[in-house]
Amino acid sequence: MMGGGGAGSASPRADEVERAVEARISPSPEFLERVARVRVDLVTRVTAAARERSSPLVRALVAGSAARGTFLQDRLDIDLFLLFPPELSRDRLREEGLALGRAILSSPETRYAEHPYLRGTFEGFTVDAVPGFAVSDPSRPLSPVDRTPFHQEYLAARESPALVAQVRLAKQFFRSLGVYGSEARTEGFSGYLVELLVIRFESLRGLLRAARSWRIPVRLAEPGKEPPRLPPEVALVLADPVDPNRNVASALSRKNLGLFVLAAGAYLDAPAERFFEVRRDDPLSKNVALELVRKRGTHVTVAVLPRPDLVDDTLYPQLRKAALAVAEELARSDFTVLGHASAADADSVVVAVELSHPRRPEVRVQDGPPAGIDRTGSFLEKWGAKRDQVLQGPYVRPDGSLGVDTRRSDRDAETVLRAAFPRLSLGKDLTARATARHTVKALGESDDSPALGVALRDLLARRLPWQDAAEAI
């Protein structure tokens, strides 16, 4: 799958579209020069601050899109990496990294990933000061950011000005689909993954030509050189060139890869600037959602839990697990599940499930043993003693086994789910909260909230990002 042609081949219309988009998203030469000066100033200032406090800083560098000029005109955060000796303790790493960040940044604010980092401003730019270890082998990192200098070196050696322009186009294409970013909330394409794909296929259009015929899971790794221990739900496999044991695309979901594959073909067939436009994706109000549900003739059940004190990258995998557990429980309980969605805001997490009907049938078919084995007697005796619960039977099924139709007591979805909630496996932190405080209500009785609006949008207002609402089916 190597190659794919240059940016200007195949379609005059695509050439026209991409020239217009490139002019809109590319930073000006003057802005690029300003960023370059700030990069030098940042390293100079933090190095001086390290000397003043006798900090064991080994190296400071600006890496990522700001270093290579692959950022979009309206989207730039500068990443300053502060690398310390590998033998330094994590407590000392945290202390020194935050201290140096505070020494040079205005309005510093502590943020959290695997370990704390600092976000602030420097000469008008937003800067993340991220501590890490100065390792010599990128295949043996001590923290997730330790490979960054090696990534920087690898990409900078391969990206020409023409390729940088293609990277920007690709980033804007992914961004317009809502799949740009590898954080757990997005489950999309990281900036590093996008740049590797553009290098591999030589241009955005080369990547799209290859992608339109991909079948998930996609394996771009060389045969015999795939990263080991790949999870079964993997979407895309591309080995990190600086650490072949790592899959660069491990955060990418199958859903988001599928959307990209579809968009690749749609754009190549009919190039248009709308494929590069980032649309507002507003939450859905409860009243609008109720009207949609009325038109669809369905029912929405909403479960709400208090939000645990977790960063998004820890919370969202648990939230998706919770949504799946709720949907599967309702399906096991004889409800027809049409879809489920989840979201979180500052106070709560929400799971919304759309069902074909609010109540399950009163009749429940109980499976019995095959005729001719010892257990048939106990089955007949059991249900003979519960005649008040039997609607029909016992009887013999066409396959020769016994069955009996019984009467259910709890029929509505909310009652069934409330009873099941304490025993559901929702994710470590959410399960603990479910046993304490949770609510399960029909949509019409639920309290409106930012999280509910996002969950309802993802449940009831799904459409392809490049479609106008009027086009959506």
DSSP H helices in 297-427: 312-332, 375-384, 413-420
Task: Tell me the C-alpha distance between 180 and 170, whole Å.
Answer: 10
For 354, the 3-state DSSP assignment is strand
C-alpha closest to that of 337 among 459, 440, 446, 461: 459
Report the alpha-carbon distance of residue 168 to residue 163 in Å, rounded: 9
Residuewise pLDDT in 10s, the chain (473 residues): 334 444 445 589 999 999 999 999 999 999 999 999 999 999 999 999 999 999 999 999 999 999 999 999 988 989 999 999 999 999 999 999 999 999 999 999 998 877 789 999 999 999 999 999 999 999 999 998 999 999 999 999 999 999 999 999 999 999 999 999 999 999 999 999 999 999 999 999 999 999 999 999 999 977 667 777 778 889 999 999 999 889 999 999 999 999 999 999 999 999 999 999 998 889 999 999 999 999 999 999 999 999 999 989 999 999 999 999 999 999 999 999 999 999 999 999 999 999 999 999 889 888 888 887 777 888 888 888 888 889 998 899 999 999 999 988 889 999 999 999 988 999 888 987 666 688 999 999 999 999 999 999 999 999 999 986 545 44
Per-residue model confidence (pLDDT) at position 340: 98
Q: What is the pLDDT of residue 6?
A: 47
Domains and CATH numbers, the chain: 1-26+159-279 (1.10.1410.30), 28-68+71-135 (3.30.460.10), 286-359+411-460 (3.30.70.590), 363-407 (no CATH)
- Closest C-alpha among 441, 442, 415 to residue 329: 415
- Extended beta strands in 134-270, E state: 218-219, 236-237, 239-240, 243-247
Q: Dig out the tokens for 314 from the structure.
A: 């820890």
pTM: predicted TM-score of the whole model, two decimal places? 0.89
pLDDT for the residue numbered 9: 53
Q: ∠ CA 60-143-104 to the nearest 5 degrees?
A: 30
Residues 6+ apart with CB under 8 A from 104: 42, 45, 46, 49, 122, 129
d(CA 264, CA 325): 33
Report the candidate in 348, 252, 340 with the shortest Cα–Cα distance to residue 299.
Answer: 340
Per DSSP, the three-state class of 164 is: helix
In three-state secondary structure terms, 182 is coil
229: left (phi over 0), alpha (psi -120 to 50) or beta: left
Smallest Cα–Cα separation from 402: which of 429, 366, 436, 433?
366
Q: Which residues contact 45 (CB under 8 A, 6 or more apart)?
A: 104, 122
What HEC string does 59-100 produce? EEEEECHHHHCCCECCECCEEEEEEECCCCCHHHHHHHHHHH
Of 141, 139, 145, residue with least CA distance to 81: 145
Residue 207 Cα distances to 175, 210, 211, 286, angstroms:
16, 5, 6, 40
Alpha carbon distance 157, 437 (integer Å): 54
Which of 450, 454, 446 lies closest to 323, judged by CA? 454
Query: Which residues are within 8 A (CB) of 325 and not within 5 positions of it... i.e. 6 or more apart?
Result: 424, 425, 426
CA distances from 252 to 73, 148, 233, 248, 256 (A): 25, 19, 10, 9, 7
pLDDT in tens, 44-103: 999 999 999 999 999 999 999 999 999 999 889 899 999 999 999 999 999 999 999 999
Distance, in Å, from the CA atom of 189 to the CA atom of 438, rounded to the nearest integer, reads 34
